[in-house]
Amino acid sequence: MDIASFRALRTPSGQAVLAEAAAADVREDALLATASRLRERHDAELVAAALTEVRLRERARTKFGPDADRMYFTQAGLEQATRASVAAHRAQRFATHLDGAHVLELGCGIGADLISRGRAGLTGEGVELDPLTAEVAQANVAAFGLDASVRVGDATKAAVDGFDAVFADPGRRTARGRVFDPRSYEPPLDIVLDLAGKVPAACVKVAPGIPHEAVPDGAEAEWVSVHGDVKEAALWLGSLAGDVGRRATLLSSDTDPEVWTLTPQGSDVPDVRAWGRYLYEPDGAVIRAHLVGEVAALVGGGLADSHIAYITSDRLCPTPFASAYEVEDVLPFSVKRLKAELRRREVGVLTVKKRGSAVDVDRLRRDLGFGGRKGGRGGAELTLVVTRVGQDPVALLTRPVPAA
């Protein structure tokens, strides 16, 4: 979709076509027939733009919920946009520390963060290099009646004078895929940090895999997960930085989530011990934030291997920061032995998890007689955990402990 098609979609006639497309069957097997029917009465390019938007809105509901039906998207913009729950969490921090602040966003994409900050009572301006994406962002801000403007421009040349804070979201995708080296962000992280340093407060969205050594002195790095899935990280700078260097934040869901935060507590490095009655798998945000030791202290546990983030303990201590599994058996890894053991236990539903192992999970499931089965074949449920202790591969037969 180009700018001309998007502008046409925003006209009254375009909105009418969009409404028709939204009410039609746009599933893959029906798309061609729907497009042909709409083209009998409407311009072909307008129909194509409307159908593209409807399908993007359907995909966007996982990130934006019901709001997706009022928003506009580009494919790249949707892929890179912050999900609404994370953007709202971040906006609340801006509002708490900088009530009524005027925020400049560098690389605003389709405007997800602009919307969340606007809803939190902050005014702002977005700068976006791509003209179509900038128009989409402005349309999204307008759809919610928020006080923010978007202009086309180069974020590296943006004037920050007159703004209380900066939020930056450098691009982390190229035509070749995701970018992991902060020096390869667009614009590079060091340039973004230089701009952010010119205002009293700033936040920079980064990839969850950012090396800890890339976090600047005085900044706070926050890793955020939603329902156990790590979504992103952010660097908080200036007056937005807390008094800790790193933080793991867990959102229980996308809708009205509970929020749990873990920060360094000065815990000792976990000791290495034999497998106990329970295995704890820390949330990915906890692992990324290097806070496994804090979780080990919470559950009175240690590590089975000093280089693998599996905690073991004889105590059951429910915590939102880790999933607990009761260990029924620990075996040397052997496909033949595991297959016989699973048959003896009459296991019908098998979940396989791994860490510190090169095993191919899908192939292992097939080798154990569970290939391709999502729900299993009836019978007992079991979670197989494949890992190692030192150089020795091991397999743990476990059962999940329901979350408190």
In a domain, 262, yes or no: no
Amino acid 111: pLDDT: 97
pTM as predicted: 0.91
Q: For the beta carbon of residue 381, count every other beta carbon within 10 angstroms.
A: 12
Contact 289, 223 (CB under 8 A): yes
What tokens were used for 204? Answer: 């920079």
Q: How confident is the model at residue 372 (pLDDT cuts 50, 70, 90)?
A: low
Statement to judge: residues 87 and 61 lie in one domain? no
Q: Is residue 48 located within the same domain as residue 147?
A: no
Domain presence at residue 193: yes
Which two tokens mark 280?
């704890």
pLDDT confidence band for 82 (50 / 70 / 90): very high
In this structure, the answer to whether residues 84 and 117 fall within a common structural domain is yes
| Residue 270 is assigned to a structural domain of this protein | no
Distance between CA atoms of residues 172 and 109, nearest Å? 12
Structure confidence by residue, pLDDT tens digits, 191-244: 999 999 999 999 999 999 999 999 999 999 999 999 999 999 999 999 999 899
Domain match, 119 and 221 both: yes
The residues, ordered by sequence, that sit 6+ positions from 189 with a Cβ below 8 Å of its Cβ are 170, 182, 183, 204, 206, 214
Q: Is residue 269 part of a domain?
A: no
Query: For residue 245, what is the domain's CATH number?
Result: 3.40.50.150
* Residues 6 or more apart whose Cβ sits within 8 Å of residue 282: 291, 292, 295, 309, 311, 321, 322
Strands 380-389 and 392-400: antiparallel
The answer to the question of residue 268 being in a domain is no
Whether residues 57 and 83 share a domain: the answer is no
How many Å apart are CA 144 and CA 71, to the nearest integer? Answer: 9
- Please check whether residue 51 lies inside any domain of the structure: yes
55 and 83 assigned to the same domain: no
The residue range of the domain holding 40 is: 3-66
Domains held by the chain: number: 3
Q: Does one domain contain both 56 and 89?
A: no
Q: What is the mean pLDDT of residues 153-180?
A: 86
> Position of tokens 């389709």?
110
Residue 371 clears pLDDT 90, i.e. is over it:
no
Residue 377 has pLDDT above 70, yes or no: no
Domain check: are 145 and 177 in the same one? Answer: yes
Query: Which pLDDT tens digit goes with each residue over 19-71?
Result: 999 999 999 999 999 999 999 999 999 999 999 999 999 999 999 999 999 99
With respect to residue 137, please indicate whether it lies within any of the assigned structural domains: yes
At which of 253, 268, 287 does a domain end?
253
Q: Confidence class of residue 379 from pLDDT cuts 50, 70 and 90?
A: confident
My answer on whether 210 and 355 are in the same domain is: no
Spell 21-50 as b/e; 16+ CB within 10 A means b: beebebeeeeeeebbeebeeebbeebbbbb
Same domain, 377 and 298: yes
Residues 375 and 311 in one domain: yes
For the chain, what's the residue count?
404
Hey, how many other C-beta atoms are within 10 angstroms of the C-beta on 63?
Answer: 23
- Do 236 and 286 belong to one domain? no
347-354 and 380-389 beta bridge pairing: parallel
For the stretch 330-364, pLDDT in tens is 999 999 999 999 999 999 999 999 999 999 999 99
Average pLDDT in the 96-123 region? 95
Percentage of the chain surpassing pLDDT 90?
88
Under DSSP, is residue 395 helix (H, G, I), strand (E, B) or coil? strand
For every residue of 371-401, which 3-state class applies, written as one string?
CCCCCCCCCEEEEEEEEEECCEEEEEEEEEC
Tell me how far apart the alpha carbons of residues 375 and 377 are, in angstroms, rounded to a whole number: 7
Look at residue 7 and tell me if it is in a domain.
yes
